[in-house]
Every structure is written in C-alpha cells, then in structure tokens.
Amino acid sequence: MRKTLYPPIEPHSAGRLAVSGGHEIYWEVSGNPKGKPVLFVHGGPGGATEPRHRRFFDPTRYRIVLFDQRGCGKSTPHASLEQNTTWHLVDDMEALRVHLGIDAWQLFGGSWGSTLSLAYAQRHPERVTEMVLRGIFLARASEIAWFNQSGASAIFPDAWEDFVAPIPQDERHDLVHAFYKRLTDDDPKVQSEAARAWAVWESRTISLLPDRERMARSTGGPFAVAIARLECHYSVHGAFFGPDTALLDGVNRIRHLPATIVHGRYDVICPLQNAWALHRAWPEARFEVVEDAGHSVFEPGILHQVVEATDRYR
C-alpha cells in the first residue's frame, strides 16, 4: 500500500523573523517540540507553505519547521523583488535555524525547494542531517528555456496558447523577459494579467492528470502575483548562481549526507533529465523514479516515496 499524509496537525509556535532589506519571514513549528528537526522548503520561487505541508512527517518523531520565503505567503513585503536572491534566502534559512536554536536539520524540498535546499546544504553542510529532494530543478538555462520557451509547449500546446496570449508576437522569441517587463509594470492590471497567465500555465502542467482544485486555488489574487513575479525574477537572473552548473559542481561538498531523490517520469515542468544529472553526480543518494507521476508532490506515487523517505530518516 502506498503511504500518504499524516493526519492534520496545528503549529504549537509561530512568528515572524526580521531579516535584511526590510523583509520579515513567517515561520511555524509543529510536531514534537523535542523531535528531530526538519525544514520544509517550499517551491516557486514565490510559492508558500500550507497546512498539509506539515503532514509529510511523523508528528511524534519530528520537530516540523515551515517558513514562507521572502515576498510570498505570509512573509512581507508581498511579492517584493528587492534584495530577493537565492543567497538572501539561504541566509534567511540559516538565520531561522539560529533563531530556533537548532543545531542541524533535515531538509525537505521540492521543485525550487530542491534548488534552494541544495544551495543551502552546499554552503552549510555541517548544518544538514539528511535531504529529501523531489522534482529536481537545477536552475540551468536549458531548464528555464524548456518550460518557458520551448519544450513543454509540444506536450501542452493548448495550454501554451493561453500562456503566450498576453505577449505580442514580436516579443515571443524571449518570453521570460517579455513577462518580466509586464510583471514589473507600474500598472496593477498589466501585472495581474501577466501573473494569471503565468500561474495558469504552471497549474495546468503540474500533474499527470488535471488538478482543477489546485488551478482554482493558485491562479488568481496575491498567490499568482507572487509566484509569477518571483519565478520570472529568478529566471531572468539565472537564479543568481553564476555558472550554469553551479549546483552540480557543488555536489562533492554534500555527497556524505544521506539523501533521497524522487522524480516523476512524466514531469513536464522539471523533466526527469534534471534528476538524472543530479543522480549521476551523486550516486550515493537513493534515487526513485515514479512511473505514474508528473511534477506535483501530491501525486500518489511521489507522495508515497517522500513519506517513505521521511519515515526512513526519522
């Protein structure tokens, strides 16, 4: 039988941590106050935590920490691009660890969360006990182009037409910059139209089968603006890594850590070749390909594998 989420649980503590640049990040802790620390690192950039993210972990054994990254969720200022880079987020994670008095913690990250977890672990390997990584994104130019310029459109041509609709034909040769221009426009209506198109495209491609509930929840209002602005901001700047292979080049710093890599065979947002590249660089990590899944962590096969991993490490 496939494993699934643990029962609903409420946080026993929560707060806001002031970090650099006028940002404040929201954090919460649930589960066993004396349990094994684990940090849930959400996707995006610009996504947010939600109550069911607490439920990947055995609450009797884990001290479960969730936080909203700069500019999204309950963190403020909302959708801000100022002083919002990968390395600001890595510093925020480390500041949160110190704030909570945690010596070292497990990292659980999917999609962009896998990227940020790898960046943090490579900078602070002594502060990581294990890693559970899902839907691998290595922030290489080819990966950004695959989803927002070229490859994915061949699989979802109908959704692609809706995605590019706000962009004039003569700007479609560089969609990331065309969207960035609109997502940073002073006119909220221009921002909102571009944000909705961006969020709907992602929502329609995230799972093997359509998830209409997710589409309704994630394609409008503040969530869509944050995820579109921040994802586009990070895409334009190559996630602030410099060399295209920065994360793969840094794997040697963390190969000693116990780790599990989980990826859906039919992941259109982050193709399996991303996880394969990480697997080849990190053969010691456990590698699980889910044959009947796309990108979403809530695909039954992916959910089973990540809960299996957190149970194994508890």
Residues forming the active site: 111, 267, 295
Residue type, 252: N
